[in-house]
Structure 1
Amino acid sequence: MRITIDDKWTATVTGDPLHITPRFDFRDFRVRIATYANVEERGRFLLDTFGSQPWLWDTPDELRFDRASRQLVGAEFQIAGEAADAADSARVPAAPLVHPGGLRADEAQDFRLEVTSELCRAPGDTVLTCLRDLDVLDEPLEARIGIAPDVALLVQHGTVVGWSLTDPAQYLTTGFAAPDPAPPAPATRLLLTECLDLVTTELLDEVRDRAPAALDRLRALDQALRTQPEDRHRADALLSLIADLVEDYADRPPGQKP
């Protein structure tokens, strides 16, 4: 199967997906699929590969390919900051099922992968689906290509129109740290949903406006994350963003900009 990623730039689906554990960096709100462990290694990785990457003020999503084999070797996706409403999220089709596969660039040439604009949250946040736009939901998907564990590219009319992350709680982390390989605690899954409710809905605007009820909810969530007795790696990953919001809006005097 050949797919289009950026206008006329194409890649061919192979039978070899990446065997790299995704990292859901909650503070940066992005998913990384790569082996680099710090900024320096990331820089070398970008120099040694080709594909879509940030440049100056331009920050597209990233698909990176080996220069010799043209095989996909890494990816980084930004999560849309505002969630679609429940009715639209419910329209995300269950079919087709994910088919594991890698990508081989049809030519060794850089391209640009536009970031998605719509976040659809499945019930319980068991799957996060990021789409180019909501018009994608008006027609069936052609394929789900599982390029890495629990990460799939969504294809419609031969073109990549989004991506998804299944079981995002499993992959919670910060920065370049590897996620905890143990299953997430049930409390962590509930806290992830509370955090996403806060940062992807109108509640975030209420926090920024310092609405008392919203700030009370923010402080309660911050406290719950700080006192969770288990699954500390994931709780700290969620706390990394929530604590920043507390500092910027709940702890600062009104009128003082964050």
Structure 2
Amino acid sequence: MRVTIDDDWTATVTGDPLHITPRFDFRDFRVRVAAYAHVEERGRFLLDTFGSQPWLWDTPDELRFDRAGRELVGAEFQFPGVEAADAEDSARVPATPLPHPCGLRADEVRDFRLEVTSELCRAPGDAVLTCLRDLDVLDEPLDARVGIAADVALLVQHGTVVGWSLTDPVRYLTTGFAAPDPAPPVPATRLLFTDCLDVITTPLLDEVRERNPAALARLREIDKALRAQREDRHRADALLSLIGNLVEDYADRPTGQNP
């Protein structure tokens, strides 16, 4: 199967997905599937590979390929920085076809641009986060879900990549380049994860920024619950990396002082 990613740039689906654990950096709201462990290694990785990458003020999503074999060796995706799609649209995300573990091989050694998605769809319980090029994608079935890594899939429609998804996102919570906790998340973390997503992907975030008393009270409740959680500290701290900043900027700062 051949897929188009950017106009006339194509890649062929192969049999081997990436054997790299995804990292969901909650503070930066992005997913990394790559072996680099810090900024310096990331810089060398970008120099040694080709594909879609940031350039000056342009920050597309990233798919990186080995120059010798043209095989996919890493990816980085940004969640849309907008309000999540409503429940009705999210419910329209098709359940099929199921993700099929695959790799990608570039059809030629040439850079391209992978546009950042614009729509975030949340499944019930946030079991899957799906990011789409636009909501028109939901009007027709998908051709395939190309599972490029564990629980990470590219969505293909009419032969073109139109989005991506992360299944069981709470499992992969971390900050920066750190590896996620290999132990499964506890139920309390799953509930708090949904609470945190409610803060940053619904109108609640606007209410926080406007210092609405009820919204700030809810934000403080979530912050307190995260700090009090004894189990699953790595994931709780990952959620706190963003929620704690919001508390500091809006709930703790005196009215009239901009963050």
For the aligned pair, the TM-score class normalised by the smaller chain equals: over 0.9
Residue 92 of structure 2 corresponds to 91
Residue 216 of structure 1 corresponds to 217
Cα deviation digits, residues 91-129 of structure 1 (max 9, x gap): 000011111100000000000000000000000000000
Residue 124 of structure 2 corresponds to 123
In structure 2, what residue type is equivalent to 1:90?
A
Residue 141 of structure 1 corresponds to 142
Residue 194 of structure 2 corresponds to 193
Residue 155 of structure 2 corresponds to 154
How many angstroms does 1:255 deviate by?
1.4
- Aligned to 2:246, the other structure's residue is in SS state helix
Paired with 2:117 and 2:79, the residues of 1 have a C-alpha distance of 7
Counterparts in 2 of 1:56-135, with a 5 A limit?
56-81=56-81, 82-135=83-136
Paired with 2:45 and 2:60, the residues of 1 have a C-alpha distance of 17
- Aligned to 1:204, the other structure's residue is in SS state helix
In structure 2, what residue type is equivalent to 1:180?
D
Paired with 1:255 and 1:155, the residues of 2 have a C-alpha distance of 47
How many angstroms does 1:58 deviate by?
0.3
Runs of 4+ in 1 over 4 A off after TM superposition: none
Paired with 2:246 and 2:230, the residues of 1 have a C-alpha distance of 22
- Aligned to 1:96, the other structure's residue is in SS state coil
In structure 2, what residue type is equivalent to 1:253?
P
Pairing 1:243–2:221 present: no
Cα deviation digits, residues 68-101 of structure 1 (max 9, x gap): 0000000000011321000000000001111110
Paired with 2:167 and 2:47, the residues of 1 have a C-alpha distance of 30
TM-score, structure 2 normalization: 0.99
Q: CA RMSD in A?
A: 0.4
Paired with 1:256 and 1:3, the residues of 2 have a C-alpha distance of 50
Paired with 1:232 and 1:80, the residues of 2 have a C-alpha distance of 27
Residue 3 of structure 2 corresponds to 3
Paired with 2:246 and 2:129, the residues of 1 have a C-alpha distance of 22
How many angstroms does 1:254 deviate by?
1.2
How many angstroms does 1:234 deviate by?
0.2
Paired with 1:189 and 1:83, the residues of 2 have a C-alpha distance of 18
In structure 2, what residue type is equivalent to 1:128?
L
**Identical columns (%):** 85
Cα deviation digits, residues 178-202 of structure 1 (max 9, x gap): 0000000000000000000111000
How many angstroms does 1:253 deviate by?
1.1
Paired with 2:97 and 2:33, the residues of 1 have a C-alpha distance of 23
Paired with 1:56 and 1:2, the residues of 2 have a C-alpha distance of 30
Pairing 1:165–2:166 present: yes
How many angstroms does 1:35 deviate by?
0.5
TM-score, structure 1 normalization: 1.00
Corresponding residue pairs, total: 258
Cα deviation digits, residues 205-233 of structure 1 (max 9, x gap): 00000000000000010000000010000
Unaligned runs of 5+ in 1: none
In structure 2, what residue type is equivalent to 1:97?
L
How many angstroms does 1:244 deviate by?
0.4
Pairing 1:26–2:26 present: yes
Paired with 2:60 and 2:80, the residues of 1 have a C-alpha distance of 12
- Aligned to 1:104, the other structure's residue is in SS state strand
